[in-house]
Chain A
Amino acid sequence: MTALLFASAIGVFTACGVWLLLRARTFDVVLGITLFSYAVNLFIFAMGRLTFGAAAILEQGKPASLAHYADPLPQALVLTAIVISFAMSALVLTLALKGRIVNHGDACDEETGSVLDNSHR
């Protein structure tokens, strides 16, 4: 049941992310990237297998096998991925803001952009 919930959460995030990514406005695209990176982070986490009540730190008296512990590596990978995607989102937002100031609008394709350019002239 948890696996099903987890998998569908990843699916919903991905679907929303992709839909937003395909829109022609920078703000939507930024939101899309963010949602998509959430989905990816959850997916990385799931690749270490879902475990219950298990830590990633060795305890005394428990045999040192993955049957008794959570896999620590995907958790480390998720941390790295979160940091990088956070930095990237900041970068895209900066670019979007600068583009909004310079181009008078947050359109990110040529057609919508030229319509906006003309309406501002």
Chain B
Amino acid sequence: MMPMPDQWLIMPVVLPLLAAALLLCIERVRPNWQAPVSLVVTIALLLLSMRLLALADTGRIGVYLLGNWQAPFGIVLVLDRLAALMLGLTAVIALASLVAAWRMAGRGEHFHAFFQLQLAGLNGAFLTGDVFNLFVFFEVLLIASYALMLHGAGGRALRTGLHFVVINLVGASLFLIAASLLYGVTGTLNFADLAAKLAILPAWNAGLARAAALLLLVVFGVKAALLPLGFWLPETYGSAPGPVAALFAIMTKVGIYAIIRVSFTVFGGMGDGSEGLLAGWGSSILFALGLSTIVLGACGVLATKRLIALVAHLVLISSGTLIAATTLGAAALGGALYYLVHSTLTIAALFLIAHAIADQRGPRSDRFGNGPSLAQPVFLGLAFLIGAMGVAGLPPLSGFIGKVLMLQGSGQAPMATWFWAGVLGSGLLALFSLARAGGSMFWKTHGAAVGLPVPAGTRTGLAVLGVAVLLWVVGAGSVARFTRTTAEQLGQPQAYIDAVLRQVPQPPFARSSP
């Protein structure tokens, strides 16, 4: 019997969960096996996500019914183009981060188990088709991320880590309030069923549903580091170890994914217009917040005196740009999805590079100003140059293509001028600060090199990210077509609703009589 293609949907969650359990078991017995096992599982996840990407590219929406329960009653996993894209991105970042962490893993306990748990949480959050399930996967990935962030950490990192934990716990509580409010209004938690019920919601309940939607926006805004909720980010990312910071590049994107998913798929059919919740004032608020986040990030990039903190502020700029672009119509959203993958890859690479530079500067670490010579100025200099060009959006690299796609797509929107100013201005400021940082790190040096060469793991991780960025540039035409169809698919939530609610449970296996 041929396995159904939809059965593959559960694998990106189950595989890392099982791997985490296995890694905990072998930690005492065979400590040297942990890293290879973790690597094999991550490569398997990469292959699996490529398979799922091909499956989603056919335009079919895959649905997996957990426990074989019919859709609105059981929990579902849903694979559409957006989910598949995020799964693929997660797998690439995970692979790069894992090989870069090869040496570091021995510094504390359970690194690989937590790493795999984090992947399970991320993949689950991208695949789930249920509000409460999304909450559960958020918690899974957050618990793992707390542990990874504080891996072998000392005093100050503990304090900033506590901030990160507390703000996310409050966010989780708000998430529960929003989810139960939605349940109280509609009697369901399934994305597809919610979308169908919200479209025919009586007017006297619409206010409550909107309140729930805005609460969800606050929760996802905390994850995506949207302006008034994002002050935890620079400190947290700045004090996390390098490979973990690289993995965290995907964490703000979980928030952006959730904003897109909820505003398009769930609330897409609500209200008077066809644009749903994002129509009218909701969209203006989100756009203004996204733009202010860009401004804050640009100010941070200019003001900071440390390289790693500079990269952390680049995360804010990227988040703000993406959120502003999601409110500007389908074409801009398509460009934003292209840019999302690009900026995640380059920021992850920049975190690795910044930590490598800091390691070679001895006690001076990543602070700007006069320091000892680097052990490998040419290699690190070139890597930093390419990363900086990518993140600032200079022509040959994918950042440029992504920005062009977003700006072109925003052409008709009334707020396009502001968006152009924000994107181009922040790119210029980022370029300026990165050039200043590079000059200070590579040219203002004295004395002999004190650091060791960059470990092979970090170099391999950078190579993985570099190849991914290169593919993103070379295949820009077909990738842009894919992200545009993704945006179009998000604009038509009815297909999603039909696919989920009409999925028939599998018939029980026929038992052959002896």
Instruction: Tell me which of B39-47, B172-180, B464-472, B503-511 binds A.
Output: B172-180
Which residues 107-158 in B have Cβ within 8 Å of A in the complex?
Answer: 132, 136, 139, 143, 146, 150, 154-155, 158
Q: Which residues of B contact A80 (CB under 8 A)?
A: 132, 136
The reply on A15 being an interface residue by CB < 8 A is no
- Whether B132 and A91, one on each chain, are in contact in the complex, defined by CB atoms closer than 8 angstroms, is no
The reply on A31 being an interface residue by CB < 8 A is no
Chain B proximity of A24: nearest CB distance (Å): 11
The reply on A12 being an interface residue by CB < 8 A is no
Interface digits, B168-195 against A, CB 8 Å rule (1 contact, 0 not)? 0110110011011101100001000000
Size bin of chain B's contact surface: 20 to 34
Interface SS, B side? helix
The reply on A58 being an interface residue by CB < 8 A is no
The reply on B161 being an interface residue by CB < 8 A is yes
The reply on A70 being an interface residue by CB < 8 A is no
Chain A proximity of B393: nearest CB distance (Å): 34
Q: Which residues of B contact A98 (CB under 8 A)?
A: 158
Count residues of chain A with CB under 8 A from any CB of chain B.
Answer: 33
- Whether B183 and A73, one on each chain, are in contact in the complex, defined by CB atoms closer than 8 angstroms, is yes
Interface digits, A88-104 against B, CB 8 Å rule (1 contact, 0 not)? 10011001101100110
Can you report 19 residue pairs joining A to B where beta carbons are below 8 Å apart?
A21-B170, A33-B166, A40-B176, A43-B180, A44-B180, A74-B183, A77-B132, A77-B183, A80-B132, A84-B172, A85-B169, A88-B139, A88-B172, A91-B143, A92-B162, A95-B150, A95-B165, A96-B162, A108-B163
- Whether A87 and B143, one on each chain, are in contact in the complex, defined by CB atoms closer than 8 angstroms, is yes
- Whether B176 and A44, one on each chain, are in contact in the complex, defined by CB atoms closer than 8 angstroms, is yes
- Whether B183 and A47, one on each chain, are in contact in the complex, defined by CB atoms closer than 8 angstroms, is yes
- Whether A21 and B158, one on each chain, are in contact in the complex, defined by CB atoms closer than 8 angstroms, is no
Q: CA–CA, A21 to B166, complex, Å?
A: 9
Known: A33-B170, A84-B136. A77 touches B180 (CB 8 A): yes
Chain A proximity of B177: nearest CB distance (Å): 6
Interface digits, A31-42 against B, CB 8 Å rule (1 contact, 0 not)? 001001100100
Known: A26-B162, A88-B169. A102 touches B155 (CB 8 A): yes
Known: A80-B136, A108-B162, A113-B159. A40 touches B173 (CB 8 A): yes
Q: Which residues of B contact A36 (CB under 8 A)?
A: 170, 173
- Whether A102 and B158, one on each chain, are in contact in the complex, defined by CB atoms closer than 8 angstroms, is yes
Q: Which residues of B contact A77 (CB under 8 A)?
A: 132, 176, 179-180, 183
The reply on A9 being an interface residue by CB < 8 A is no
- Whether A103 and B166, one on each chain, are in contact in the complex, defined by CB atoms closer than 8 angstroms, is no
Which residues 447-494 in B have Cβ within 8 Å of A in the complex?
Answer: none
Q: Which residues of B contact A91 (CB under 8 A)?
A: 143, 146, 165
Q: Which residues of B contact A43 (CB under 8 A)?
A: 176-177, 180
Interface digits, B280-309 against A, CB 8 Å rule (1 contact, 0 not)? 000000000000000000000000000000
